[in-house]
Chain A
Amino acid sequence: MQSTTERGEVPEGERVIPGDYLGDGSRFFQGRGTYEMGGRIYSELVGEVRIEEHEKTTSRSDSGKTESGSKPSRVISVVGKYSLSAVPSVGSIVMTRVLNISERQAKVMIISVGTTLLQEPLSGVIRREDVRSVEKDTVDVFSSFRPGDIIRARVVSLGESHSHYGLATDRNELGVIMATSEGGHPMGPVSWTEMQCSKTGIREARKVAKVKNAVPLKSN
């Protein structure tokens, strides 16, 4: 049997599976890995229970707050043994690999959301107008991206059911992070619009992302 307190709550570190009762909604805020129904908090994952002190906030938090009566002061959450694939939301920063390009857009495969690697890649599209924030209509996709490039982008739309995630690289820190030259060698950034092959020194046009602490290749 699960160890519980007199109220039937579970202690920190307790191992739970989906559906296990964790505690009452009046005594805890529901954290990640839990859901609330009928004022009671249940686990939704296989994992361990964590209980933390909740920072006092005056505004409404999305984990729910009781207005009167006993105020919950602790957050109860379940840390899954195995973190589930993240699903991108509008504004998420994602890492993608370019699959193909056309005059109007680049089709990409989303590999990770934030720091979470996706178990199954999702598909996304970067339209011509979303490549950069200035001179949007004069963008040449072929000079911005090439198939195989790794691009950091942000999610602008979840799309309707028939289309892919809409992405944009219209900021300094978005754009090509890694690319290989036509000769097959890795390239490093030299400017906002060019990357240079590490072996031959030949430059190719790309929409380059400004990565913090990156050292641009010295031109010969």
Chain B
Amino acid sequence: MIKAGVLKNANGSAYIEFGDNKIMCGVYGPRDVHPKHMANSSTGILRCRYHMVPYSVSERKNPAPSRREIEISKVIKEALEPAVMLERFPRTAVDVFIEVLQADGGSRCAALDAASVALADAGIPMRDMVSACAAGKVADTVVLDVNNEEDQAGQADMPIGYMPNLEKVTLLQLDGIMSPKEYKECIETGIKGCKIVYEIQKKALNERYFGDDHK
């Protein structure tokens, strides 16, 4: 389930529930960059912060950014950059803030799905949506969207970010071991999952803007 336009103060926002993941995303921009030395005179910049609240996991997570959160922030930013038309807004920044309220495996994909919807909700021109889903290998079988328990016990986790109309991959990570054949199968399965998520993103934007489930 994705709902667009949920935050009063953000330029664009989205809330996603994906399995047991519950994630909120707020987008601001294009806006002035502070500190000024970070501004790029020929293009806008994208900044992304992925953060988990302390009660998002069963053992309290320290609010300070962990290495994992820093990695995911970078990965999500790089997955969104090919889609956002930053060159339209030189000397400005688009800020994406992701707060994970409850995490259960595959949260980076869910976060990326929410971020895409929030960016579109903000009216920021994009080449395409970015839809993400994770494929994985559990008990020697290629599966789609592993949850936390399956990830702990499983053999591989492959988050994939995909632009459905342009048919391009913007995020690809693999944590685990698999054969080349399994790898190919995993990517294909993941992309199928991304296309399913795309329909949900589309629905969220349609509901927000046209007030009905048009498609």
Contact = CB atoms under 8 A, between A and B. Distances in A.
A37 B127 CA distance: 9
A45 B125 contact: yes
Interface residues of A, number: 34
Contacts of A158: 41, 90-91
B30 interface: yes
Given A18-B126, A158-B90, A120 B120 contact: no
B164 A19 contact: yes
B68 interface: no
B183 interface: no
A122 B127 contact: no
A17 B30 contact: no
A35 to B, nearest CB: 7
A19 B30 contact: no
Given A46-B120, A84-B125, A120-B32, A19 B89 contact: no
Given A19-B163, A44-B126, A85 B30 contact: yes
Contact of A84 (B28, B39, B124): B124
B130 to A, nearest CB: 9
B128 A42 contact: yes
A46 B121 contact: yes
Contacts of B29: 120
B37 interface: yes
Interface in B88-120: 88-92, 120
Contact of A17 (B36, B90, B122, B129): B129
B205 A45 contact: no
Interface in A145-195: 158-163
Contacts of A163: 36
Contact of A19 (B36, B41, B128, B214): B128
A18 to B, nearest CB: 4
A119 interface: yes
A26 interface: no
A80 B123 contact: yes
B85 interface: yes
Contacts of B123: 45-46, 80-84
Contacts of B201: 17
B164 to A, nearest CB: 7
Interface in A2-50: 2, 15, 17-21, 33, 35, 37, 42, 44-47
Contacts, number: 99
A46 to B, nearest CB: 5
A121 B92 CA distance: 11
B11 interface: yes
Contacts of B205: 17, 46
B206 interface: yes
B40 interface: yes
A160 B33 CA distance: 13
B206 to A, nearest CB: 6
B123 to A, nearest CB: 4
A160 B41 CA distance: 6
A203 B82 CA distance: 56
B55 interface: no
A84 to B, nearest CB: 4
Interface string B62-104: 0000000000000000000001010011111000000000000
Interface of B: 11, 28-32, 36-37, 39-41, 83, 85, 88-92, 120-129, 163-166, 201-202, 205-206, 209-210, 214-215
Given A84-B123, A120-B31, 8 more contacts: A15-B209, A18-B129, A19-B163, A46-B205, A120-B28, A120-B29, A158-B91, A162-B36
